[in-house]
Structure 1
Amino acid sequence: MKKLLIIFCCVLSALSSLALSKNLERHNLPVDTICLADPTVFKDNGMYYLYGTGSPDGFWVYQSVDLKNWSGPVGKRNGHALLKGDSYGTKGFWAPQIFKQKGKYYMAYTADEHIAIAESDSPLGPFTQKVIKAISGTGKQIDPYVFRDTDGSLYLYHVRLQEGNRIFVARLKSDLSDIEENTAKECISAEAPWENTEKVKWPVAEGPTVMKRDGLYYLFYSANDFRNIDYAVGYATASSPMGPWVKYEKNPILNRALIGQNGTGHGDFFTGNSNQLYYVFHTHHTNNSVGKRKTAIIKATFTNGKPAVSIMDKNSFQFLELKHATK
């Protein structure tokens, strides 16, 4: 009888493990390394929240208190912070960004190759729109990044698909309802050799992130097609959020030569404990396959001077891993 009980427990354990594996597979979740492309990390009240491209139905959110042990997805809509149907879009949910304004949480994101902004009372969602719509603009627009200047002015950096992926900026209305369309202006396009290593007819500059240091604006971006092993990160500087922008002469600052991983790019900066600056980004799944793209972080620093030089600390590079997975 004792042997039968042991066998039964072993079978039950195996079935439980199989059920967990099937559950993870059903939800398209990685078991160990988190696989979100175009990631962003938002810190709020001591908790880190991770979002990115991964679900066909919106955006999952993961959380961590130490950047090492992550759990999730933990969003309020079946693991999603934003679920299809609650806001604009039916497919192609890409490149979210979270920011806080007057006690509300906002998510700027891409869906159906257009940009929308949804709001929530919590970083876990649900992010919704009272009026379901995309922002204004000509043609297809992707990869939004909302920047709030020190005077409170809001700007939407984004990518427009016209003769290549080109980064634009436009003033954003104070109520976040739309851009001021007549202010839209091109920032940069992919022109340097490192930005188009395959010399394609549709060059790519995308994934903008903007910060301000000592009165100077820094625009970080990724170049090359994301499937290219040379997908990498560079930056440009300007004295105004509208430009003109001057690219750093020693770009790229994050690439496969630095960390030994292909397809490094399209991320966002966030500040951790002790005011440590981090860049969260994705890499190819392996050096022989693109997807599912894996999520990683690396420490970033700036030298003294104006402009300062941005440096990525290759020794701090790490993939983000799940502590456990939930529905």
Structure 2
Amino acid sequence: MKRNYFYFTLSLVLLLVSCHQSEQDQVVGNPLFGGYFGADPAIVEYEGKFYIYATKDPWGGDDLAVFVTEDFLSWEEASLNWPTKEACTSPTSLDANVWAPDVIQGKDGRFYMYISVGSEIWAGGSDHPLGPWENLKADNTPLIPSDFIEGIHHIDANCFIDDDGKIYLYWGSGWDWVNGRCLVVRLDDDMKTFLEEPQDVTPPNFFEGAFMIKRNGQYYLMYSDGMAINETYHIRYSVGDTPYGPWREGKYSPILQSTPDGAVVGPGHHSVFRVHNQDYILYHRIYPQEQEYVLRQLCLDSLNYDAKGNILPISLNSVPPFE
């Protein structure tokens, strides 16, 4: 069904997707739309449409929230056949619901999803962003079970394909809001086979939500720190010369955090996408509430750099016109 929601500045965006746009800018603020479907968002673009996948609140659901847009103004809500809590349950699964999707288009043109279910990471594949999806493992087991490495909370996976075609999977968090760890492993072209032993590459002040980008030969490992249930949650990043680091925390890190006036609370667990050489950061923030559980909303801003390549602090509601 279609939903029309508040607007953020996206003038000329329809030129990007071969649609007509009026000369007058469309101006809106975050969140992108109402409801509590926007946690831990991932995004892919395919054939002129953007597909956004997110955790349902409170604390996940039996499946994912999925939204489709051509212009970030009008939205269609979709559903997927996989993953579900029922389909992604193993003898080692814990109680957690469906969380934290990461979706990427592979070198073969197919789409691959890495999803946290039951505090395990499952991997799926599809020819289309809306599926049908299926487990990459024929035996219907998780790619990374909950007991894979003791002391690591095996959630929040992010797949990164480097310029040279090498594929890396990052993941990890901590328990009880402490001791977050970040692991990485090289994947084979089948997007599921480990080519090496996982390595601990935890950057400074890391807790969870790793997301890797590469710009101008530098690797930017972005991530969240703090407690996802309150105002301490925020986004940081570190820079390295290889996909494994070593890491030095960015000059302006953290780049996005709660504002003193309470207008933005607990922003975090993001993804980054690029349109016409402009980066954008898609993230969630906490909706102010008195409930014991957390409700989160989907937000979008531009991601910019200074002359030396440092990621600048996020200017809220900062989406510029697409060129």
Fold equivalence (TM over 0.5): yes
SS at match of 2:259: helix
- Sort the Cα spacing of 1:160 and 1:174 in 2 relative to 1 into closer, same or farther, 3 A: farther
Q: Which has the higher helix share?
A: 1
- How far did residue 135 of structure 1 move? 2.3
The answer to whether 1:302 aligns with 2:297 is no
More off after superposition, 280-289 vs 212-221: 280-289
**Pairs aligned (count):** 270
SS at match of 2:197: helix
Of the candidates 51, 56, 68, which is equivalent to residue 63 of structure 1? 68
Structure 1 ranges of 4+ moved more than 4 A: 85-91, 287-290
- How far did residue 105 of structure 1 move? 0.8
Of the candidates 145, 148, 155, which is equivalent to residue 161 of structure 2? 148
Match of 2:149 in 1: 138
1:74-113 paired onto structure 2 within 5 Å: 74-77=78-81, 82-87=83-88, 91-101=96-106, 102-113=108-119
The amino acid of 1:66's aligned partner reads: D
- C-alpha contact 1:165 1:189 (8 A) present in aligned 2: no
**Alpha-carbon separation, structure 1, partners of 2:162 and 2:111:** 18
The answer to whether 1:179 aligns with 2:180 is no
1:216-227 paired onto structure 2 within 5 Å: 216-227=218-229
- C-alpha contact 1:256 1:262 (8 A) present in aligned 2: yes
- Sort the Cα spacing of 1:178 and 1:133 in 2 relative to 1 into closer, same or farther, 3 A: farther
- How far did residue 53 of structure 1 move? 1.0
Percent identity for Structure 1 against Structure 2: 26
1:233-248 paired onto structure 2 within 5 Å: 233-248=235-250
The answer to whether 1:51 aligns with 2:53 is yes
Larger radius of gyration: 1
Q: Which has the higher strand share?
A: 1
**Alpha-carbon separation, structure 1, partners of 2:158 and 2:80:** 24
Deviations 1:139-166 (A, max 9, x none): 3411000011111111111114376121
The amino acid of 1:208's aligned partner reads: A
SS at match of 2:231: coil
- How far did residue 185 of structure 1 move? 2.3
**Alpha-carbon separation, structure 2, partners of 1:152 and 1:58:** 31
- C-alpha contact 2:204 2:249 (8 A) present in aligned 1: no
The CA RMSD over aligned residues, in Å, is 2.6
SS at match of 1:115: strand
The amino acid of 1:284's aligned partner reads: I
- How far did residue 275 of structure 1 move? 3.8
Match of 1:170 in 2: 185
More off after superposition, 145-154 vs 128-137: 128-137
**Alpha-carbon separation, structure 2, partners of 1:299 and 1:233:** 14
- C-alpha contact 1:157 1:170 (8 A) present in aligned 2: yes
Deviations 1:223-280 (A, max 9, x none): 00101212111110000001100001432111112883111110100124x4432111
Deviations 1:151-207 (A, max 9, x none): 1111111114376121222212221223345242232253xxxxxxxxxxxxx6111
- C-alpha contact 1:187 1:242 (8 A) present in aligned 2: no
- C-alpha contact 1:169 1:187 (8 A) present in aligned 2: no
**Alpha-carbon separation, structure 1, partners of 2:46 and 2:278:** 15
The amino acid of 1:186's aligned partner reads: V
The amino acid of 2:134's aligned partner reads: T
- C-alpha contact 1:37 1:53 (8 A) present in aligned 2: yes
- C-alpha contact 2:219 2:239 (8 A) present in aligned 1: yes
- C-alpha contact 1:261 1:287 (8 A) present in aligned 2: no
Of the candidates 248, 255, 259, which is equivalent to residue 257 of structure 1? 259
- How far did residue 111 of structure 1 move? 1.0
Q: TM-score, normalised by structure 1?
A: 0.75
- How far did residue 132 of structure 1 move? 1.2
**Alpha-carbon separation, structure 2, partners of 1:315 and 1:120:** 33
**Alpha-carbon separation, structure 2, partners of 1:99 and 1:52:** 14
- How far did residue 138 of structure 1 move? 1.2
Match of 1:158 in 2: 171
1:17-56 paired onto structure 2 within 5 Å: 32-54=34-56, 55-56=60-61
- How far did residue 288 of structure 1 move? 5.2
- How far did residue 314 of structure 1 move? 1.6
SS at match of 2:202: strand
- How far did residue 52 of structure 1 move? 1.1
- How far did residue 300 of structure 1 move? 1.2
